[in-house]
Amino acid sequence: MAEQRFCAKARKEAKGYDKPSTQLLSLLKLPVRAGDTKAIVSRVDRLIGLFLDTTQDEAAKLHAALTDPKNPLGRFYTCELATKTRTQLLSLLHQIANRIEIKPKKKGKFEGARVITVIADTDVSPLEHPRYVDRVAEAISIRVVLAEWLLIWRHKGREIVAGIPRNRMGAPSPQTLLWAVQIFDSEELAKQQARAMKSYNQIQDDGYEPQIITFYYGPGNTIRPTLYTPVTAPRLMDGIKMYIDDGHLLETVEMYSAYYEVIKDFVNPTFLDMDQEGNISITGPPKFPKVPKLNWKGLRRLFRWKQKPTIKQLLNRLNYKVAWRSPKGTHEVYETAANQLIGSFDALQAFRKSKAAAGKYKGWHRHHIVEDRHLKDLGIADLFPGRKDLPCVMLPGKPHSDRIAGALTRALAEKKPLTDLDVFNAYALAYKELGDYTGGGIGAIQKELRRVVGNMLGFD
């Protein structure tokens, strides 16, 4: 009862003192009932647009008024909005008032966006849900024929493969509204809500037309966004970029070059083109094509070794030559195009003690390119040979101890459970710290090691 009297008094006494505060007062006085989700979200949407349009001085004055317990407008603001929404909008005002660059909450390569997540007061964002697709996917591949990205994970002992068509991948937007009040039962219902909110903003004609993204329950018991961007799927976007940077896409299409001439006349499903001599080049992402149903399944990157792989099989994506062979032929060490020495743990130890090494590698370490502890964490260690037969690279002791070990610890220590994609990204970042220790070039060294990691985790 006391709270009702407090809010009624605040409503009566609250006044606007300039254009933004007067508009805010009008929005707060709208007859929005508890439980009327559409009206609640529409009002929040308009409040976001109002705050984004304020100048630095206007934002500072408004923020001071709304956080002053003696100010009737501030008290009325507290009464009318849910705690999470109220706090989020105040944070937005604070950033505008202090000229702080507004960034998405989730880490990713895309920065500088204005991202607002609107959720029901009692819920959490779908992006934080354990079944959200960006958390679930363990590996990424490409289906060549349909230009569809494949997400791969394990669930209840089964391997699940589900695709993201190219038309579900979106460019980053300077203003994004994640409408997460409800997780819809189908993609179509989620898209209908996104279209309705987009139309609503266009009708307002106030210059605020954010990219609207909604969420739904999708294939493989996952929660999915209607649009995959660096805001809604930062891990997947990083994985896709690494996949392309490592040349997987080009190599995949080269496997299909015999068929490419047949299909390219009616559809160009990949980001590639082929000249008259059969040379393939990356041209840029196309729009998702409408194609007839084909019997081809395309390429599925499924992680399955029929037998435990040898060192040579795990290095099959590198250019290398034999640098040393033990007298009895028991061990071999390979030199890569970037001048790295790679072999099994035991082979590198035997080489380091040999006359051929001549003591040059005293103090160097044998570093497992993917450590067996991470293979165990992923539950796939039994698919590989033992620790002494896993591929290792010879590294100077200090860079190995100070850079690689520290980078892996920082990236993976708090991630439970680990996914293939987490491990792949962590090693890719760690190998950036290595530098040009062979004279073969920083980029070439990083790429070779990433390719071995990708091969072991099934990213080819």
Q: Is there a domain that residue 180 lies in? A: yes
Q: Are residues 315 and 453 in the same domain?
A: yes
- Please write down the HEC assignment for all residues of the chain: CHHHHHHHHHHHHCCCCCHHHHHHHHHHCCCCCCCCHHHHHHHHHHHHHHHHCCCHHHHHHHHHHHCCCCCHHHHHHHHHCCHHHHHHHHHHHHHHHCCCCCCCCCCCCCCCCEEEEECCCCCCCHHHCCCEHHHHCCEEEEECCCCEEEEEEEECCEEEEEEEEHHHECCCCCEEEEEEEEEECCHHHHHHHHHHHHHHHHHHCCCCCCEEEEEEEECCCEEEECCECCCCCHHHHHHHHHHHHCCHHHHHHHHCHHHHHHHCCCCCCCCEEECCCCCEEECCCCCCCCCCCCCCCCCCCCCCCCCCCCHHHHCCCCCEEEEEECCCCCCEEEEECCCCEEEEHHHHHHHHHCCCCCCCCCCEEEEECCCHHHHHHHCCHHHCCCHHHCEEEEEEHHHHHHHHHHHHHHHHCCCCCCCHHHHHHHHHHHHHCCCCCCCCCHHHHHHHHHHHHHHHHCCC
Q: Are residues 349 and 372 in the same domain?
A: yes
Q: Is there a domain that residue 306 lies in? A: no
Domain that includes residue 28, residue range: 2-100
The sign of the dihedral angle between the CA atoms of 296, 297, 301, 306 is negative
Q: Are residues 50 and 145 in the same domain?
A: no
pLDDT tier, 410 (very low <50, low <70, confident <90, very high otherwise): confident
Cα–Cα distance measured from residue 228 to residue 318, given in angstroms and rounded to the nearest whole number: 32
Q: Are residues 93 and 241 in the same domain?
A: no
- The model's pLDDT over 3-26, given as tens digits with 9 standing for 90+, comes to 677 788 888 888 888 888 888 888
Arithmetic mean of pLDDT, 116-133: 79
Given 100, 126, 151, the domain boundary residue is 100
- The model's pLDDT over 142-178, given as tens digits with 9 standing for 90+, comes to 766 556 788 888 776 677 888 887 778 887 787 888 8
Given 75, 100, 125, the domain boundary residue is 100
Q: Are residues 315 and 399 in the same domain?
A: yes
Q: Are residues 161 and 199 in the same domain?
A: yes
Beta bridge partners of 152: 139, 161
Given 74, 100, 126, the domain boundary residue is 100
Arithmetic mean of pLDDT, 346-366: 92
- Supply the pLDDT for residue 303: 38
- Supply the pLDDT for residue 342: 96
- Supply the pLDDT for residue 352: 93
- Supply the pLDDT for residue 263: 45
Cα–Cα distance measured from residue 405 to residue 413, given in angstroms and rounded to the nearest whole number: 11
Q: Residue 302 pLDDT > 90, yes or no?
A: no
Beta bridge partners of 164: 149
Q: Bigger pLDDT: 208 or 283? A: 208
Q: Are residues 59 and 186 in the same domain?
A: no
Q: Are residues 45 and 61 in the same domain?
A: yes
pLDDT tier, 343 (very low <50, low <70, confident <90, very high otherwise): very high
The two tokens of residue 348 are: 């590198």
Q: Are residues 113 and 256 in the same domain?
A: yes
Check: CB of residue 93 under 8 Å from CB of residue 63.
Answer: yes
Q: Residue 262 pLDDT > 70, yes or no?
A: no
pLDDT tier, 179 (very low <50, low <70, confident <90, very high otherwise): confident
- Supply the pLDDT for residue 333: 96
Peptide bond just before 104 cis, omega within 30 deg: no
Q: Among 2-6, 57-61, 396-400, which is the least confidently predicted range? A: 2-6
Q: Are residues 147 and 211 in the same domain?
A: yes
Number of domains making up the chain: 3
Q: Give backbone dihedrals phi and psi of 394, rounded to 5 degrees, phi first.
A: -80, 120
Q: Residue 309 pLDDT > 60, yes or no?
A: yes
- Strands 272-274, 158-165: pairing is unpaired
Cα–Cα distance measured from residue 114 to residue 176, given in angstroms and rounded to the nearest whole number: 6
- The model's pLDDT over 31-45, given as tens digits with 9 standing for 90+, comes to 877 667 667 777 887
**Using alpha carbons only, what angle is made at residue 15 by residues 9 and 16, rounded to the nearest 5 degrees?**
155
Q: Are residues 132 and 218 in the same domain?
A: yes
- The model's pLDDT over 219-260, given as tens digits with 9 standing for 90+, comes to 878 999 999 988 898 888 887 877 777 666 665 655 555 444
Q: Is there a domain that residue 378 lies in? A: yes
Q: Are residues 352 and 273 in the same domain?
A: no
